[in-house]
Chains A and B, each alone.
Chain A
Amino acid sequence: MAGLSFDLIALQLFTGLALGAIYVLFAIGLSLIFGMLTVVNFAHGAFYMVGAYVGLFLLSLGGNFWLCLVAVPLIVGTIGLVVERFLIRPLYGRGIDYPLLLTFGLSYVMVELIRIAFGKSGYPFDTPEILQGAVNIGVGYFPLYRLFVIGIAAAVLLGLWLFLERTSFGLIIRAGARDPQIVRVLGVNVSRVWLFVFGIGSGIAGLAGLLAAPLQGAIPEMGATILAEAFVVTVVGGMGSIGGAVIAGLLVGVVVSMTSLFAPEMAKVSIFALMAIVLLIRPQGFFGRAGLMS
C-alpha cells in the first residue's frame, strides 16, 4: 500500500478516537442500565435518535446549539424517567425477557412517532458556525467539530466520574451496580435509584444523538446501527462497568478506523471479530462482573 506515512496513521488514529467518543457516550448508558437494572435496553438507540430530533426541533424554535447541549439531555432524560416509571418498573422480577421485549417494541413505536411527526426522509443538521471547518492538528487537517465532540465526551465523562465518586447518590449507584441485593437489604429505595439511572443513561444517549447529528444528519433509523455497535462495546468492556465502556468504546472506534485504512469492506465486521476474541479470552469483558447474565 503506497503512501502509508506516520502522518496518515496518526490522523487515522485520531479519527478513530472521534468515532469512539460517540460510542463511549452512547454505551455508558447502555452498560449502566444493564449493570444496575439488568434491563437490556433495546430502546437506547431510539433515545439517541430522539435526542437528535429534539435538537432539530429546538433549533427550529429559534434556539442555538449551546442551548440544545443543555436542554436535550434534560428533555430526553425526562422521557427516560417516564418510560422507566410506567413501562419498565411493572416488569421487574419477571426475568430478563420482558423488559427486553418491551424496549424492543418501544423502539419501533418511538421511530414511527418520529416518522409521523417529522417525515421519513430525515433532515440535514448544520454544524454550528463556530465549529465549522478543519484545523491542522499537525498530522493533517481534521474537522473542528469532531475535536469538539471528543472534548464534550471527555467533559461528560469527567462530570459523571465526579458524580459517581464524590456524591452519596453516586456511591449508591456504584454499590447497586456491584450488588443490588445488599443495597436493598441496607434499606435503600432501589426503585428510585433505578429510575434515575435509567433517566441519566437515556439523557446521555440523547446527548450522543445530538452530537452525532451534525456528522451524518438526523434520520429516524439512526439509532439502529449504533445500537448494534454499542452492544459490542458493552460486551467487550463488561456489562455494568463504566470504565469498561470508555475503554472499549475508544478501542472499537480505533479498530474500525485502522481496519478502514487497510480493508474498508472489513471495517464493520472487524468489531465483531474483536468481540469474539475478547469473549474467548475473557467472557465477562474487560471489567465486567462474572455471572451477570445468569
Chain B
Amino acid sequence: MAKKTTGSNSISRRRLLTTASAGAVLAASPFRINLLQAQESTIKVGFPVPLTGPYGTEAQDQVRAAEVAIAEFNEGGGLNGRKAELLVRDDKLNPGEAATRTLELIEKEKVNFIVGSLSASVQLAVNNVTKERGIIYNSISQSDEINEAKDFSKYTFHEALTPHLTAGAVGRYAFPKFGKKVAFLTADYAYGHEMVRGFQEAGKAFGVESLIDVRHPLGTTDFSTLLPRIQALKPDILVISNFGRDQQIALKQATDFGMKKSMKIVAPILLYTGRLAAGAQAFEGVIGGTSYYWGIEDKLASAKAFNDRFRKMHGGKVPSDYGALGYAGVKALLMGAKAAGSLDTDKVIAAVEALKYDYYKGPEYYRKCDHQAVQSVLIIESKSTPQKGDADVFNVIATEEPNEKNLRTCEALGHKS
C-alpha cells in the first residue's frame, strides 16, 4: 500500500490501523465463516484409541487401518463430494480419559461419528457419552456387555467379536479334538471372566470338566508360581485368557515349564502383534481365535484388496487383526452414510442396519436387536517357523462361518423382541 511521502506518521499509522481492523472484522464476520464451512465441511470421524500404554501397538495399527478406510472413501467420491477425515485421540486405556476425549470430539470438533476403542471398560465409557449425545458409535474391541440392553442404544454398533462368540468358536474346535479336562489361567478382569464364561458354556455340549480357574492380576510378569499347580492337575487343555503383554509372557513361561509336552495350550484370541513381539517359540503350537488374519487373502478377494491397499499406504506392512477392525469400523459407518445419502443420524442408522457387506473378511451384517456384526471367526494355530516372510506366522486351521446362533440371544441380552 503506497504511503504518502509527506504524510505525518500519525496519519499513516491510523490508516494502517483502520485498514487492518476493517480487515479483521471482515475476516471474523459470519459471512466469511459460512463461506469457509461450505467449502471445507468434511465428515469427521472421531477415533479415541489407547495410543500410549500396553495396547499402544494394537491401537496404532487401528489408526493405520482407519486411514485406509478414509482414503478409500474419499477416492470413491465421498458423500456427494464431501470427504471424510479422521480425528485421532489418545484415551490412554483409561475410561475417564476416554470419556473426556469423546466429549471433546463431540462438543468441540463436532464429529459426525465415533469409532474406537480397546478394552471393555473404555468402550463402555465412550458409549455412555455417545448415546447421551446421540452420536453413532462403532466399537472395535471385544465386549459382551456393550450388546446388553442396559448399555445398548440405537446409536451403538459393535463391529468387533464378542467373548462369547470367540471363546465359543475356539472351544467348539478344541474340545472335541484335545480332551475334556480343562484348566484355565485367566486375567482377573472383564475380558478374562467373559472369555472363561464363553468357554465353559460352549464346553457344556462336550462334557468338559473344568479342573481349575487360576486368576492373575493384570500386568503379571511372572507366572512361575501359578504353573506348578496347573501341571499337577494334568489337564488335557490349558486355556490362557489374557491379552497383550500378559499373553506373551504367559505363553513364554508356560513353554519354559515344558507344559506344551503334556497339554494343548489354547487362547481365545491370538494377537498378530503379540506373536511378533513374543517370537515364534513362545506361541508355537498354540491354538486360538481371531477376527482377521492377513493370510486369508489367498482365498478371499476382499482381504487381498484391503491388504494391498494397506501395504501401499504403510510401507509394505500387513494389517493386524485389531488393526483390521479399525478399517471395518470406520468403513461401515461411512458406507452407511453414503447409502443413506445424508448424515442424518437416524437415516444413517437405518442404512447401516441394512448393510450387507464384505469389506475384508467375507460376508457380514449387523444384527438388528443389538447391532452386533455377525461375522466369521478364524481358528488359527501359530507356526513354529515362518516360511513366506516374517509376517507368515499363523495357519488358519478352521473357519466358523457367520451364524447368529453362536451369539448370545437377543432375549438373553435383555432386548425385547
Contact = CB atoms under 8 A, between A and B. Distances in A.
Contact of A8 (B188, B232, B281): B232
A14 B231 CA distance: 15
Nearest to A146: B224
A140 interface: yes
B56 A121 contact: yes
B178 interface: no
A217 B245 CA distance: 9
A114 to B, nearest CB: 15
Interface stretch (B214-222, B317-325, B344-352): B214-222
| Interface size class, chain A | 35 or more
Contact of B256 (A11, A12, A145): A145
- Residue from the set A145, A222, A260 with the largest chain B CB neighbour count within 10 Å: A260
B10 to A, nearest CB: 55
Interface string A210-234: 0000011101001001000000000
Contacts of A257: 224-225
B253 interface: yes
- Residue from the set B225, B231, B248 with the largest chain A CB neighbour count within 10 Å: B225
A67 to B, nearest CB: 21
Interface in A102-139: 120-124, 126-127, 132-134
B232 A143 contact: no
A261 B229 CA distance: 7
A206 B19 CA distance: 68
Given A5-B232, A133-B258, A124 B245 contact: no
Contacts of A142: 257
A126 B279 contact: yes
A93 interface: no
B279 A265 contact: no
A8 B277 contact: no
B278 interface: yes
Interface in A142-186: 142-143, 145-146
A216 B251 CA distance: 10
Contacts, number: 94
A221 to B, nearest CB: 9
Nearest to B248: A217
Contacts of B219: 225
| Interface size class, chain B | 20 to 34
Given A120-B56, A134-B256, A216-B249, A19 B222 contact: yes
A267 B188 CA distance: 13
- Residue from the set A16, A18, A124 with the largest chain B CB neighbour count within 10 Å: A124
B33 interface: no
B110 to A, nearest CB: 32
Given A8-B232, A120-B56, A134-B258, A219 B245 contact: yes
A11 to B, nearest CB: 4
Contacts of B258: 133-134, 141, 143
Contacts of B253: 215-216
A121 B278 CA distance: 10
Contacts of A215: 222, 224, 252-253, 256
A219 B245 CA distance: 10
B215 A216 contact: no
A121 B277 contact: yes
A218 to B, nearest CB: 11
Nearest to A141: B258
Interface string B202-236: 00000000000011110101101110110111000
A3 B183 CA distance: 14
A149 to B, nearest CB: 11
Given A18-B224, A225-B221, A143 B257 contact: yes
Interface string A1-26: 00101011001100110110000000
Contacts of B256: 127, 132, 134, 143, 145-146, 215
A268 interface: yes
Contacts of A275: none
Given A122-B245, A219-B245, A265-B188, A16 B228 contact: no
Nearest to B224: A15
A19 B215 contact: no
B222 A216 contact: yes
B228 A12 contact: yes
A256 interface: yes
A63 interface: no
A211 B225 CA distance: 18
Contacts of A11: 228, 232
Given A122-B277, A140-B228, A140-B232, A268 B217 contact: yes
Nearest to B281: A126
Interface in B266-280: 277-279
A261 B232 CA distance: 12
A41 to B, nearest CB: 21
Contacts of A225: 219, 221
Contacts of B249: 216-217
B282 interface: yes
A7 B229 CA distance: 10
26 contacts: A3-B233, A5-B232, A12-B228, A12-B229, A15-B228, A18-B224, A120-B56, A122-B245, A124-B252, A124-B277, A124-B282, A126-B281, A132-B256, A140-B232, A141-B231, A143-B256, A143-B257, A215-B222, A215-B224, A216-B221, A217-B278, A264-B215, A264-B216, A264-B225, A265-B215, A268-B217
- The 3 A-B residue pairs with the shortest CB-CB distance in the complex, in nearest-first order: A134-B258, A260-B225, A124-B279
Interface of B: 56-57, 188, 214-217, 219, 221-222, 224-226, 228-229, 231-233, 245, 248-249, 252-253, 256-258, 277-279, 281-282
Given A19-B225, A124-B248, A268-B217, 18 more contacts: A3-B233, A7-B232, A8-B232, A11-B232, A15-B225, A120-B57, A126-B279, A126-B281, A141-B258, A143-B224, A143-B256, A146-B224, A217-B248, A217-B252, A256-B225, A261-B225, A264-B214, A265-B217
Interface of A: 3, 5, 7-8, 11-12, 15-16, 18-19, 120-124, 126-127, 132-134, 140-143, 145-146, 215-217, 219, 222, 225, 256-257, 260-261, 264-265, 267-268
